[in-house]
Amino acid sequence: MCLAIPGKVVEIRGNTAIVDYNGIRKEARIDFVKDVRVGDYVIVHTGFAIEKIDEDEAIKSLKAWDEVLRDENE
pLDDT per position as a tens digit, 6-56:
999 999 999 999 999 989 999 999 999 999 999 999 999 999 999 999 999
Q: Rounded distance, CA 1 to CA 22, Å? A: 21
Query: Residue 2: inside a domain, yes or no?
Result: no
Cβ atoms of residues 42 and 9 within 8 Å:
yes
Q: What is the pTM of this model?
A: 0.85
Query: Residue 1: inside a domain, yes or no?
Result: no
- pLDDT over 90 at 62, yes or no: no
Cβ atoms of residues 7 and 19 within 8 Å:
yes
Report the DSSP pairing between strands 24-29 and 7-13: unpaired
Write out the residue range of the structural domain in which residue 30 sits.
7-72
Query: Residue 21: inside a domain, yes or no?
Result: yes
Number of structural domains (the chain) is 1
Q: What is the CATH number of the domain that holds 33?
A: 2.30.30.140
**Which of 72, 69, 74 is closest to 21 using CA atoms?**
69
Query: Residue 40: inside a domain, yes or no?
Result: yes
